[in-house]
């Protein structure tokens, strides 16, 4: 395996020292609101569960992620990290991370495709024993280009729905050769991060980027899964009229019973003022929809990849493209209508210029699960065959207990009799 010559972040910045200080300030602020990572840090620093491991990470490099990365390093690991989206990196945070003696950060905001993948190769050149992904790009790269590393990789952890979908497809094809935890699928992650995190941060980012209100507007939500539910609920909470578009009849019915209007996108397109896609699928909004949209609509995507709004087709239709605001590109149609695309159609809550990602408290939970999943790989990797695995329920509960204790919330426990009753089939009427 050849060594990478791609340099870490600090060599891309004109004033790395100032960047480091600002990045550290952002991390310190976030850490004050991350009781789970703080509790795990005490344990990890004392017990060094990751000693001897090298962790390769491709994630959104911002303050909350950075605190996870430092936790893993303080738990004994060497960590190399890059971004999982060309626009979501905060360079100052990346620079602050790179200062840690056990961490190398290659993440830089706004890189082109070639540099994005150069950075990914640079991370893999550290010869990981564990991978941590948000979207599965690292697992794919290792399998396709560095198969010689697979035998020494204990396993991986995957953060998001799209990554887990891709991993399951890879597993079904018999192409996934080490175990990977579906961190996304734990209750502590997706009931909070996908629902509340995506809902709050996507809407907040759209509002801040445009300086516009949701009240009284028709907000069209593409997909009524975990993320879509969050976006719909929070938009309704801001007095929008919510329209849901779904392909799964049960989800469509659920949205209907929640009181939202449910329409095919062909009809919603003509009614909407703001569109937010959350499907993890491609071509949710296409030419036929652009053709009937109102002048001035806002188009935003909160799904993992930038394929939900078909920008190629929009560009084909447009007679002009211009920067309407920072993070907003206007596409002028031949009849004079302007359709506004936020954050280049990339996940808006992380890729818009002012985006901060999910609230800190939410990411504390997601990254708490990541940390205990990685600890389990280091301690019990032999227990897992290659393939996609659920994170053991007791680990998810451990993270919930830490959070409840930090919040000062006490809760009930099953009595012995209740436990026996719940595990028995013999009690009837
Ligand atoms: P999910 O699987 O719970 O929901 C997706 C929904 O979209 C499903 O109900 C599905 O039936 C529907 N759908 C699929 N194709 C559609 C189409 N053409 N038109 C309308 N509906 C369609 O997935 P989840 O957890 O809500 O994640 C959605 C996406 O958001 C994924 O790409 C995930 O990786 C990403 N994500 C983004 C976050 C962010 O910070 N922006 C945070 C967490 C997840």
Per-residue pLDDT tens over the stretch 207-237: 999 999 999 999 999 999 999 999 999 999 9
Listed in sequence order, the DSSP H helices in 86-194 are: 91-98, 113-124, 137-145, 161-172, 187-189
Using most ligand atoms within 8 A of CB, pick from 223, 248, 262 the residue to mutate for ligand 1. Answer: 223
Q: Are residues 143 and 69 in the same domain?
A: yes
Q: Could you tell me the pLDDT band of residue 429, with boundaries at 50, 70 and 90? A: confident
CATH number at residue 20: 3.40.50.1480
Would 415 be classed as within a structural domain? no
Residue nearest to atom 22 of ligand 1 (CA): 223
Would 209 be classed as within a structural domain? yes
CA of 44 to the centre of ligand 1 (A): 34
Choosing from 311, 336, 351, the residue where a domain stops is: 351
CB atoms within 10 A of CB 177: 16
Residue nearest to atom 20 of ligand 1 (CA): 246
> Is pLDDT above 80 for 53?
yes
Q: Could you tell me the pLDDT band of residue 2, with boundaries at 50, 70 and 90? A: low
Would 306 be classed as within a structural domain? yes
* pLDDT, averaged across the chain: 97
Domain count, the chain: 2
Would 318 be classed as within a structural domain? yes
CATH number at residue 243: 3.40.50.720
Binding-site residue positions for NAD(+): 160-162, 194, 223-230, 246, 281, 302-304, 349, 358
374/71 Cα distance (integer angstroms): 11
Would 418 be classed as within a structural domain? no
Q: How far is CA 225 from the centre of its chain?
A: 15
> Is pLDDT above 70 for 271?
yes
3-state secondary structure of 177: coil
Check pocket membership of 129 for ligand 1, CB cut-off 6 A. Answer: no
DSSP string, 291-346: TTPPTT-EEEE-SSSTTSB-HHHHHHH-SEEEEEETTEEEEE-TTS-EEEEEGGGS
Choosing from 328, 351, 374, the residue where a domain stops is: 351
Q: Are residues 164 and 18 in the same domain?
A: yes
Host domain of residue 207: 196-351
Residue nearest to atom 3 of ligand 1 (CA): 225
Would 4 be classed as within a structural domain? no
Residues 60-110 pLDDT 10s: 999 999 999 999 999 999 999 999 999 999 999 999 999 999 999 999 999
CA of 303 to the centre of ligand 1 (A): 6
Residue nearest to atom 41 of ligand 1 (CA): 302
Q: Are residues 83 and 216 in the same domain?
A: no
Strand arrangement of the beta sheet that strand 54-58 belongs to: 103-105, 78-82, 54-58, 130-133, 155-158, 179-182, 387-389
Q: Are residues 344 and 258 in the same domain?
A: yes
Check pocket membership of 245 for ligand 1, CB cut-off 6 A. Answer: yes
Would 240 be classed as within a structural domain? yes
Say which DSSP state 388 is in: E
Q: Are residues 363 and 307 in the same domain?
A: no
Atom nearest to 280 CA in ligand 1: 32
> Is pLDDT above 90 for 1?
no
Say which DSSP state 5 is in: -
Choosing from 321, 336, 351, the residue where a domain stops is: 351
Atom nearest to 190 CA in ligand 1: 25
Using most ligand atoms within 8 A of CB, pick from 84, 194, 233, 250 the residue to mutate for ligand 1. Answer: 194
> Is pLDDT above 80 for 412?
yes
Q: Are residues 168 and 37 in the same domain?
A: yes
Q: Are residues 70 and 135 in the same domain?
A: yes
Residues 125-179 pLDDT 10s: 999 999 999 999 999 999 999 999 999 999 999 999 999 999 999 999 999 999 9
Q: Are residues 26 and 46 in the same domain?
A: yes
Q: Could you tell me the pLDDT band of residue 427, with boundaries at 50, 70 and 90? A: confident
Stretch 363-380: mean pLDDT: 98
The CA-to-CA distance between both ends of the chain, in Å, stands at 67
Q: Are residues 33 and 181 in the same domain?
A: yes
Q: Are residues 342 and 269 in the same domain?
A: yes
Would 420 be classed as within a structural domain? no
Binding-site residue positions for substrate: 134, 159, 189, 193
CA of 225 to the centre of ligand 1 (A): 6
Q: Are residues 362 and 336 in the same domain?
A: no
Check pocket membership of 263 for ligand 1, CB cut-off 6 A. Answer: no
Q: Are residues 40 and 157 in the same domain?
A: yes
- Which distant-in-sequence residues (6+ apart) come within 8 Å of 228 by Cβ? 221, 222, 244, 246, 278, 279
């Amino acid at each position: 395996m050849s060594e990478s010559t791609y340099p870490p972040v600090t060599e891309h910045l004109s004033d790395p020292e100032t960047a480091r200080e600002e990045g550290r300030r952002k991390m310190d602020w976030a850490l004050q609101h991350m009781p789970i990572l703080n509790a795990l840090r005490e344990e990890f620093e004392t017990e060094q569960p990751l000693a001897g491991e090298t962790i390769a990470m491709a994630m959104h490099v911002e303050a909350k992620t950075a605190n996870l990365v430092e936790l893993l390093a303080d738990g004994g690991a060497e960590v190399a990290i890059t971004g999982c989206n060309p626009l979501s990196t905060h360079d100052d945070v990346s620079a602050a991370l790179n200062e840690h003696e056990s961490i190398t950060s290659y993440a830089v905001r706004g890189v082109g495709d070639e540099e994005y993948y150069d950075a990914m190769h640079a991370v893999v050149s550290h010869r990981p024993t564990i991978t941590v992904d948000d979207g599965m790009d690292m697992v794919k790269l290792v399998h396709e280009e560095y198969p010689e590393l697979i035998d020494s990789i204990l396993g991986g952890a995957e953060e998001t729905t799209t990554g887990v979908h891709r991993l399951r497809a890879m597993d079904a094809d018999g192409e996934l050769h080490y175990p990977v935890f579906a961190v996304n699928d734990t209750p502590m992650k997706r009931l909070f991060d996908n629902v509340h995190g995506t809902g709050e941060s996507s809407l907040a980012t759209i509002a801040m980027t445009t300086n516009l209100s949701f009240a009284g507007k028709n907000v069209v939500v593409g997909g009524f899964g975990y993320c879509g539910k969050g976006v719909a609920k929070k938009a309704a909470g801001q007095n929008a009229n919510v329209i849901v578009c779904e392909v799964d009849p049960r989800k469509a019915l659920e949205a209907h019973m929640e009181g939202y209007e449910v329409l095919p996108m062909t009809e919603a397109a003509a009614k909407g003022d703001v569109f937010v896609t959350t499907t993890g699928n491609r071509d949710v909004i296409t030419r036929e929809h652009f053709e009937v949209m109102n002048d001035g609509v806002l188009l935003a995507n909160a799904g993992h990849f930038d394929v939900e709004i078909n920008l190629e087709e929009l560009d084909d239709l447009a007679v002009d493209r211009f920067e309407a605001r920072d993070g907003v590109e206007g596409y002028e149609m031949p009849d004079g209508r302007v359709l506004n695309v936020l954050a280049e159609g990339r996940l808006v809550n992380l890729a818009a210029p002012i985006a901060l990602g999910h609230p800190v408290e939410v990411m504390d939970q997601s990254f708490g699960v990541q940390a205990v999943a990685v600890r389990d790989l280091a301690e019990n990797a032999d227990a897992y065959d290659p393939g996609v695995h659920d994170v053991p329920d007791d680990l998810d509960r451990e993270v919930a207990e830490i959070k409840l204790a930090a919040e000062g919330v006490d809760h009930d426990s099953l009595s012995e009799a209740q436990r026996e009753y719940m595990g028995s089939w013999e009690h009837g009427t």
